[in-house]
Chains A and B, each alone.
Chain A
Amino acid sequence: GQQVMQIPQYQHVQEGEDFTTYCNSSTTLSNIQWYKQRPGGHPVFLIQLVKSGEVKKQKRLTFQFGEAKKNSSLHITATQTTDVGTYFCAGGTSYGKLTFGQGTILTVHP
């Protein structure tokens, strides 16, 4: 079945440093979605990428979808303490399946 692998599992950074999490799918995706879960909270949708090679930005967050539509990345520039949480990618297929990666837990030290 479809698998979505996400690395790293944990990332500790000092405030102001950059952060990147990577997502790889075993199959070609129709889209990739990214979610953020604050400690003790629930996943909240951040963005969806659909096109091959697509790049989208949300303030300090940059999302990329690979040319082959099998990988994606989320990059945060100059992390802040408000960025702490778990970031999940989720690979979607046109027939309705959304498979979540294991998530990357980000800790930001002030």
Chain B
Amino acid sequence: NAGVTQTPKFRVLKTGQSMTLLCAQDMNHEYMYWYRQDPGMGLRLIHYSVGEGTTAKGEVPDGYNVSRLKKQNFLLGLESAAPSQTSVYFCASSYSVGGTDTQYFGPGTRLTVL
């Protein structure tokens, strides 16, 4: 099993450009999450999904959109990138509800917005 994979691993964008980050998991998990990690801020939840076709806002959702068309995939989109979105993005998944179950993290995407 590959676990949780993320593409791309690195990306540099110019302000105003758009991009999509892809997360895939092969553990048949219902729950998937997108976090961003910034120095001194820990991991902050952007959006999450409790199942195929459903998404919900997390702590810092502004400037991001998500989709979960297939159970194994969770996409994070930036429509118009801003320098404040320079961060490391982690996708995670869990079998049951995230507050009570282990979350498995992907390797991360390091995004720089110039």
User: In the assembly, what is the distance between CA of A85 and CA of B50, in Å?
Assistant: 30
* A-contact 0/1 string along B27-68, CB 8 Å cutoff: 000000001000011111100001000000001000000000
Query: Residues of A within 8 Å of B, CB-based: how many?
Result: 25
User: Are B42's CB and A6's CB within 8 A?
Assistant: yes
User: Of B43, B90, B106, B108, which is in contact with the most chain A CB atoms at under 10 Å from its CB?
Assistant: B43
Verify if B107 is at the interface (C-beta below 8 Å from A). Answer: yes
Closest to A97 in B: B99
* A-contact 0/1 string along B59-98, CB 8 Å cutoff: 1000000000000000000000000000000101000011
User: Are B102's CB and A93's CB within 8 A?
Assistant: no
Q: How far is the CB of A22 from chain B (nearest CB, A)?
A: 14
Query: Residues of B within 8 Å of A, CB-based: how many?
Result: 22
User: Are A98's CB and B103's CB within 8 A?
Assistant: yes
* B-contact 0/1 string along A48-71, CB 8 Å cutoff: 100000000000000000000000
Residues of B within 8 A of A31 (CB): 99-100
Verify if A24 is at the interface (C-beta below 8 Å from B). Answer: no
Verify if A9 is at the interface (C-beta below 8 Å from B). Answer: yes
Q: How far is the CB of A77 from chain B (nearest CB, A)?
A: 24
Q: How far is the CB of A87 from chain B (nearest CB, A)?
A: 11
Interface residues of A (CB under 8 A from B): 1, 6, 9, 30-31, 33, 41-45, 48, 88, 90, 92-98, 100-103
A-B pairs with the 5 shortest C-beta distances? A92-B99, A96-B97, A102-B42, A100-B43, A42-B105
